[in-house]
């Protein structure tokens, strides 16, 4: 059974920023393809990642140093953030 993916408005903004960055580098298409592959994976096996903090799980992209931070609630995967692993906070 496939889980339903729900992407938060904040995650959409973060995805848009990343896409703009990779568009400048000429890698927008590859980035979005990798993102869609990761969403497909989460639709099928969201529980395969361990909980890291506050029930939040982290799934890494294959080709880019980005991660998807999400929670599983019933049969829904709620994407909270899409973050670069190179960001300095």
Q: Which residue has the tokens 């959409």?
A: 12
> What pLDDT score does 73 carry?
92
| Cα gap 14→36, rounded to integer Å | 15
Beta strands in 1-89 (DSSP E): 4-7, 51-53, 56-60, 66-73, 76-84
* Residue 24 exposure: Cα atoms within 13 Å on the Cβ side: 5
d(CA 15, CA 35): 9
Residue 89 pLDDT > 60, yes or no?
A: no
pTM of this structure: 0.90
User: Domain 4-84 is of which CATH architecture?
Assistant: 2-Layer Sandwich (3.30)
What is the model's pLDDT at position 87?
63
pLDDT band at 2 (very low <50, low <70, confident <90, very high): confident
* Phi, psi angle pair for 76, to nearest 5°: -120, 140
For 28-82, how does the pLDDT look when each residue is reduced to its tens digit (9 = 90+)? 999 999 999 999 999 999 888 898 988 999 999 999 999 999 999 999 999 999 9
């Amino acid at each position: 059974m496939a889980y339903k993916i729900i992407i938060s408005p904040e995650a959409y903004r973060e995805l848009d920023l990343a896409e703009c960055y990779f568009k400048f580098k000429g890698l927008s298409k590859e980035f979005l393809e990798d993102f869609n592959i990761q969403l497909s994976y989460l639709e099928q096996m969201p529980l395969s990642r361990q909980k890291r903090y506050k029930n939040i799980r982290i799934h890494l992209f294959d080709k880019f140093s980005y991660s998807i931070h999400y929670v599983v609630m019933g049969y829904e995967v709620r994407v909270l953030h899409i973050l670069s692993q190179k960001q300095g906070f």
